[in-house]
Amino acid sequence: MSAPHLPLGEGAEFDAIRAMLDEWGPHAVGVGDDAAVVAVPPNEKLVVSTDASVEGVHFRREWMTAAQIGQRAASGALSDLAAMAATPLGILLALSVPERWRDELPELARGVGVAAVAARCLIVGGNLTRGTDLALTITVLGCTAVPLRRAGMRPGDRLFVTGRLGGPGAALRALLAERPPGLTHLERFVAPIPRLDEARWLAEHGAAAAIDISDGLLADAAHLARASAVSLAIDLAAVPCVDGVLPSEAATSGEEYELLVAVPDDVELDVAEFRRSFGIDLTRIGVALAPTGDPVLVDGRAPSVFGHDHLR
């Protein structure tokens, strides 16, 4: 996939696109046609996801730089490919840009480019329009021979989570209270890391189902349970937390972009090898049960709070 860009027309719109292409350099290809052409390896399936990041809903301008906004939006979209254990192939970026953000387009593009480079993924197209609030809608394309889905969990499967949770939630609470967040918490909020390589390792080592933690551990555990027609019993004390965060806070913190993974009981998973390979923890936090009527049980009881609801 090394197609050169086509010549672009005149005017403010195309000048803005050229400025973004200058930022991306060799990490963007084939821009200028009506659609992107992406090659999929033989015997693999195309995996596609779209994610939106909207000013006033997902971020505020005073919370982070334009580059951080772009990187965070792209990383969140790429995390959906990680949840499916897919290898990234391409990113498409649709931008709705108010006049007050026009001068920051190159910085927004730079942030998207940082995420693309980290994922070893090319930027292959998109769209640019005027708007009243800044909005980034990012479509990601990936491929895999065997997608890791939400519906593969069975009673008796063990439940694992990557990394440590709670940083984004702690940062958000501080920002909303107009307090400076802890540096570690803020870093987790503004610069999430999609667990792409980790997901492929887990799929290769026998994982049966997965979801990325974008709505909060308990909320996404409920999504996983419903898709697999099981209930999940979670040990709250086992939930791995960043420093300064309680397990109850970590369990409902959204936008983590860590992975929640089901592993069959008869699969030997080398947690130490995972940590050596990726430098993060892989922690067992629960088990799948036959359906009980509640999708998630925390220490034997149905939780009263789950996490984020996109329309609430």
Do residues 122 and 261 both lie within one domain?
A: no
pLDDT confidence bin for 311, thresholds 50/70/90: very low
Does any domain span residue 5?
no
- Check residue 307 and give its pLDDT: 55
Does any domain span residue 257?
yes
Q: What is the mean pLDDT of residues 130-155?
A: 95
* Final residue in a domain of this structure, among 117, 144, 171: 144
Report the alpha-carbon distance of residue 8 to residue 5 in Å, rounded.
Answer: 8
113's CB contacts (< 8 A; 6+ apart) are: 23, 24, 25, 27, 28, 70, 123
Does any domain span residue 19?
yes
* Final residue in a domain of this structure, among 110, 144, 178: 144
- Residue 50 pLDDT > 50: yes
Do residues 134 and 227 both lie within one domain?
A: no
Q: What is the mean pLDDT of residues 211-220?
A: 96
| Number of domain units in the chain | 2
Do residues 59 and 73 both lie within one domain?
A: yes
Do residues 199 and 80 both lie within one domain?
A: no
For the segment 254-290, what is each residue's pLDDT rounded down to a tens digit? Answer: 899 999 999 999 999 999 999 999 999 999 999 999 9
pLDDT confidence bin for 137, thresholds 50/70/90: very high
Where in the sequence is the domain holding 277, given as residue range(s)?
150-298
Do residues 137 and 157 both lie within one domain?
A: no
Strands 296-298 and 231-234: parallel
pLDDT confidence bin for 310, thresholds 50/70/90: very low
Q: What is the mean pLDDT of residues 84-97?
A: 96
More confident residue, 279 or 9: 279
Do residues 109 and 205 both lie within one domain?
A: no
CA 51 centroid distance within chain: 9
- Residue 49 pLDDT > 50: yes
Give whichever of 34-38, 123-127, 167-171 has the largest mean pLDDT.
167-171
- Check residue 2 and give its pLDDT: 56
3-state secondary structure of 142: strand
For the segment 151-196, what is each residue's pLDDT rounded down to a tens digit? Answer: 999 999 999 999 999 999 999 999 999 999 999 999 999 999 999 9
Do residues 247 and 113 both lie within one domain?
A: no
Do residues 114 and 184 both lie within one domain?
A: no
Does any domain span residue 309?
no
- Check residue 221 and give its pLDDT: 97
Do residues 170 and 135 both lie within one domain?
A: no
More confident residue, 36 or 309: 36
Do residues 156 and 293 both lie within one domain?
A: yes
More confident residue, 49 or 57: 49
- Check residue 138 and give its pLDDT: 97
Does any domain span residue 38?
yes
* Final residue in a domain of this structure, among 144, 178, 213: 144
CATH of the domain at 89: 3.30.1330.10
* Listed residue (220, 241, 235, 236) closest to 166, CA to CA: 241
- Check residue 102 and give its pLDDT: 92
- CB–CB of 29/2 below 8 Å? yes
68-87 in b/e burial notation, b at 16+ Cβ within 10 A? bbbbbbbbbbbbbbbbbbbb
- Residue 5 pLDDT > 80: no
CATH of the domain at 164: 3.90.650.10
Do residues 26 and 109 both lie within one domain?
A: yes
- Residue 305 pLDDT > 70: no
Does any domain span residue 305?
no
More confident residue, 7 or 113: 113
Do residues 127 and 207 both lie within one domain?
A: no
